Every structure is written in C-alpha cells, then in structure tokens.
Amino acid sequence: MQLATSLNVLYDYTSDIPRAVRRLKAAGFDALDFNGCDMLSLWQGGEGERNLELLAGAAEEHGLPWVQAHGPMFEFWGENAVWGIADTRRCLRWCGRLGVPWMVMHPGHRPGAFDAAHRQRVIEANLEFDRQFIPLMEEHRVGIAIENLADAFHGRRFGSVPEDLLELHTALDHELFGFCWDTGHAFLQGLPQRESIASLGSRLKVLHVQDNDGKGDDHLLPYTRGVAWDEVVAGLQDAGYQGAWTYEIHNAVRHLPDGCRDDALRLAVTVGRHFTGQF
C-alpha cells in the first residue's frame, strides 16, 4: 500500500513546488494527492498552467505518482455556491493531465427539512450534477470519488452516512464513480468505522486519513485524538481496500515553524508505515 499526502501539508508550497515535492520524497512518501482546490482558489490563468507543469515535472523527477486529487469540495448550487460546473470540468482535465485516477468531491447539499421528499430531491440534484461529467471522465479516465461528510458541519447533510453514498452510487451506475472515506468525518458523525467502511466494499477507492477530537474537523495525525484506528484498519481489510493510505493532516504540519516541518513529515511517514504494513 502506498503512503501519500497532499502538498498542502507545507503551508507555502505554492511558492516553490519543486522544493515541496522534494521534501515529501525525502521524508519517505510514495505518492501524492493533487489539491485541485488550491489551484482553483489560488492560481488563475497562465499561472495555473505553469504550476501544473511544475507539479507534473517534479512528481516525475522524484518518482511520486498522483494517486488521487481534491476536486471542487464545497457548495455547488444556489446563492451560496462556491464551485461550479466549469471548475469541476477544469479540475477533471487537470487530473487527466497528471494521470490522477480518482478526484474526490463532496456530495451536493440543499437546505431543507430532510424529510423523504427533500432527501429525494437532493439525490436527484446530485445525479443531474454528477452525470454531466461522465463524457469528460471517460475521455480522461478520471473517476469521481464521493466523500462522506458529517452532520456537524451544517445540520443533516446528505452523504453523512454510508446508506446515502450507496444509494447515490447505485443510481449513478458507472464504473468511474466510487467513494472516498474520510476517517475524521466519520468520527464526527459518530459512525462505527469498521462496519461503515466494510459496507462500501470494492466501491471504496481512496481515503482521507485524519484524526480529530469529535468536535471539529481538525485534520491531525492518527493517534493524536479520538479516531478508533484499529477499527479503521479492520474495516479496510474487510472491504478489500486496494488504494493508497492518503493523509489529510495539514494542520499537524503546516502551522509549525518551517525548520520543524521535515521532522513532522518523517513522523507522519513512520506512523503511516505502521498502517501500510498491515495490508
């Protein structure tokens, strides 16, 4: 099992991409998570294209494949929309150029009573939104992995329990849709990790590995807060998980003084090897 992380563990990575990739390689990581959210938010026009080439070149130089990506993550519809159709298409194309097999996205949300009728409308809206990308996904061979959320963010949210994800996936009925399991979101939701992960089976394609205290989405290193890691491992084994162990632990590294970050990255690799050695 490969051990991966996003470059955003280094707070200032956008200022020197080759150096950031070199530091992750030196720390012992095997692979990378492409943070398309950062590119959409921070890099515009020609600058974004230049940085994409830097990412591709640095990863190739150090032998670090891109195993997954953060695509547009937040609200897609209505007056509070953050991302849109054009952003999602752009990020899928970027993933195709880097050879990223799975791009993670949150399921869309609409406020409401979340009774049966409202829940069905949310499902239908997600289906309409997701299906329009299938031709582009097929063209670039990039799948969309839908991530579990948590009601703690905004009240009852579609996608906070495995049943939501499974129903949406069944309706999408396409091999290029799968799941991302976020261990921290599941802990915030109070879900049993082993049973929940196992229920996703082979449809689980990628992970966001992080720890928290059950109150906030902290994005910390495993064993520093409350996630039941033995249950996570058992669930992944039950599901027959074949993907990477990919950290989402930026708050464990990026806020440290830069002189301390390489040691923190090496610690993260040591902890990660404890997990990857069980598969």
Report residues of the chain scoring pLDDT below 50: none
Task: Check residue 82 and give its pLDDT.
Answer: 67
Tell me which residue range forms the domain holding 160.
Answer: 3-276
DSSP, collapsed to helix, strand or coil, labels residue 180 as strand
Q: How many domains does the chain have?
A: 1
Please spell the DSSP secondary structure of 218-261, one letter per residue. --B-TTSSS--HHHHHHHHHHHT--S-EEE--GGGTTTS-HHHH
- The CATH number given to whatever domain includes residue 152 is 3.20.20.150
Instruction: Please name the helix (run of DSSP H) or strand (run of DSSP E) that holds residue 48, with its range, or none.
Output: helix 45-62
| CA distance linking residue 44 with residue 47, whole number of Å | 6
Report yes or no: 181 and 140 within 8 Å, Cβ to Cβ.
Answer: no
Contacts of 196 (CB under 8 A, 6+ apart): 161, 162, 181, 186, 235
Task: Check residue 165 and give its pLDDT.
Answer: 97
| CA distance linking residue 98 with residue 64, whole number of Å | 11
